[in-house]
A and B are shown apart, each in its own frame.
Chain A
């Protein structure tokens, strides 16, 4: 494979150095400079994005802040390849696309772009998930990457296992589905040996496991230092559970205290991940309500759902993320998540698309559902 263009390599070196500085620094100036360089690169290399920006009068000559860089709605990745260097692609990740399976969002990575993502995974987890540096038995309620090569969560959790897992760590979703007995055995081993366990997985996987525990009368008292990391929603694959109830059940069935339960916001369209702040706060002796933290190589803003204009702090709206590690496609991503900015991060309330359209005209959802049921 040909070498990446020099300007890309240079930018990657600088972004990587910025990520490697960890999470305990604030350098808005460098962030902005790197963001503008990434924008310029994307503007020049991705013709569709360039035209999209031109229509909005946002050219590298005009834009002076990361906040002015035109974001792309996540939906666009369903129909359009927006790779910076498509000919260098080494990995492709896709969204689960449960509502319309034929319309999956697709994001590609070149080798250097993947290294940026790897760096974010390591740095963010070191600070927000394992600030105590503890190694544990990592049990993952998800398929391994070789079974789900396009699932970004499987990729990321595999990285976490490599960095932070003890040898007994493993993925628990195989060709026959969720191997619940293996999870039970792993947790019992953790209890017996007092080696902490870290359970990772989709939120719905946890809830299905809790339902299993309730039915079978199973409870665990995992050793101190054990923790849970859940990501994604329920998407109709388990009971719908509120955050509070979820945390209660982690305590009830696993014996993992609430501040050791971390929710992760990860998106296929965004290379970096956003963790809950509870373990980080604990490690730093900080107080404050639970929210997601922006690692320094990311920024988040909240915009009005109708006008898409930025809202003042404290107002609820749609979340828009900017991620330097997205160098390989588009850094500015407009999501459908409703949330609010918090000190050092943000809080997510849910997806805007939940709920119903009013009125008596048929909605797209309704039509799809009825036609599918036949």
Chain B
């Protein structure tokens, strides 16, 4: 049995003295034991840490040109995409042990997250949200304002990471750095290993920049610690369950900018024109990928796909193709280990549908034999949304007409986020218009659900612009003493 000593925290070199007490948590699978070192945090420690991070930011990050910040973050993503990068290799050994995800899923997660976090993505995201990224560096002339304008990020952003989506926390550090804010990340108990490694990368690339970043852990809901950190921060971003978000919302002081990304549910809609024999294999692979990636744990993942009847391929036949695609997915990218609870939920669903099928109801249960690895259930629209117990349980719902889906998802507005849509005929525009009105914030193609770009207005919010405070100078002449008279250009 190999033993790996890993850190469930990251403190920048200058702040390593702040924490004195640590404990160790042990995770284990068949061949690896991970000893995870976790700092013991108190209210006083987070206050001290927050002060230091802010001070370091003021000295360096706040003054750093956006171009340099983008270059550092780009270099970090590029390193993580390198298969031989030692931290990546380490993450691929520890994260599966800690989370239960298969090695393949973790690897794919890292690739997906980092491929969409390169230079070009960051510039595009900045331009798409704030027009001119140089507003972050200095006052720039704005035609519309007929004056000068500059954007300031928060001093300190505290981010509560969601558990169990490997490689996601880097996004919060990127967003914070792009608005030149210090960032204190609170990892979730479920996946505390990726974020510390990512910050080690930043440390290697720019040891000054990392001095305004840290990752720690405290048990969620620990009010003393959380209230202490709220005293010191001016922005909070939370990924978490509906209850977590609501509870925090009640305690966060009003002066704090507070962005929440609570749990969401995705779904797909495929029109009859798309359901053609020659397309079916490709489409099944795409839908299998949407479910297989992240084992359906991500908010981006679909719970079900609505398939329109009347096409060349009926929904039942598609379900059978999909079962084949899921079996292939299992070979290429096996599902992770799941808890007894999650296994029971799957067995319960299977039992229910097997008996419906035995009773002669119009439904179909297709499942991996002797395991809960994957499940495909087909049924005709029961008129209410069909959530999945997740972990690769796909629900295919047959509808007479795609527009039937709208009243089904409408009551779920607080949870809507991603929808994959392939209509394939002239109804597409009308359908998308109406679907957008129900509350979804991203419409994409089947097979693209787990891979949003940085341009996505996450949960309908512009994630960078929402963090900024602007200052306008209503003066169309040059500002006296300004060195760079012409607006700078960014790549």
With both chains docked as a complex, state the minimum distance between the C-beta of A90 and any C-beta of chain B, in angstroms.
Answer: 25
Indicate whether B320 reaches chain A with its CB closer than 8 angstroms: no
Max chain B C-beta neighbours (<10 A), residue from A307, A309, A355, A363: A363
Contact of B345 with A360 in the complex, beta carbons under 8 Å: no
**A306–B371 touching, CB < 8 Å:** yes
Across-interface contacts of A73 in B (CB, < 8 A): 347-348, 351
Indicate if B411 sits at the interface (CB-CB under 8 A): yes
Cβ of B190 within 8 Å of any chain A Cβ, yes or no, is: yes
Interface residues of B in 380-425 (CB under 8 A from A): 385, 387, 389-391, 411-412, 414-415
Choose the segment among A141-149, A179-187, A365-373 that binds chain B (4+ C-beta atoms closer than 8 Å): A365-373
> Which of A48, A355, A362 meets B387, CB within 8 Å?
A362
A: which residues have CB within 8 A of B? 48, 51-52, 72-73, 75-76, 78-80, 305-309, 317-318, 334, 336, 338, 352-364, 366-367, 369-371
Chain A residue with Cβ nearest B299: A360
Residue pair B264, A357 in contact (C-beta under 8 Å): no
Say yes or no: is B370 at the interface (Cβ < 8 Å to chain A): yes
Mask of B264-308 contacts with A, CB within 8 angstroms, 1/0 = 111000000000000000000000000000111111010100000
Mostly helix, strand, loop or mixed at chain B's interface? mixed
Q: A75-B348, A366-B263, A367-B415 are in contact. Are A355 and B162 (CB under 8 A)?
A: no
Among candidates A307, A309, A318, A370, residue contacting B344 with C-beta atoms closer than 8 Å = A318
A-B CB proximity, top 6 nearest: A359-B297, A305-B340, A305-B343, A73-B351, A362-B263, A360-B162
Instruction: Select the stretch in B52-60, B76-84, B88-96, B354-362 that faces chain A.
Output: B354-362
Are the C-beta atoms of A75 and B351 separated by less than 8 Å? yes
Closest A-chain residue to B266, C-beta based? A361
Pick from A79, A317, A358, A367: contact of B190, CB under 8 Å = A358
B390 touches A76 (CB 8 A): no
Minimum Cβ distance to chain A for residue B194 (Å): 14
B162 proximity list for chain A (CB < 8 A): 359-360
A79-B356, A359-B390, A361-B390 given as contacts; is B411 within 8 A of A371 (CB)? Answer: yes
Kindly name the residue among A306, A338, A354 whose own CB sees the greatest number of chain B CB atoms within 10 A.
Answer: A306
Nearest-neighbour CB distance to chain A for B395, whole angstroms, equals: 12
Least CB distance from B4 to A in Å reads 21
B364 to chain A: closest CB distance in Å?
14
Question: Given the complex, which residues of A lie within 8 Å of B240, measured CB to CB?
Answer: 360
- Specify which of B163, B265, B299, B355 is in contact with A358 (CB 8 Å cutoff): B163
- Are A309 and B370 within 8 A (Cβ)? yes
Name which of B99, B340, B370 has the most chain A CB atoms within 10 A of its CB: B340
A370 near B338 with CB under 8 A, answer: no
Chain B residues near A308 (CB-CB < 8 A): 347, 370
Question: Cβ of B339 < 8 Å from any Cβ of A?
Answer: yes
Task: For A361, list chain B residues within 8 Å (CB).
Answer: 263-266, 296-299, 301, 303, 390
Q: How far is the CB of B414 from chain A (nearest CB, A)?
A: 7
Nearest Cβ distance between residue B471 and chain A, in whole angstroms?
35
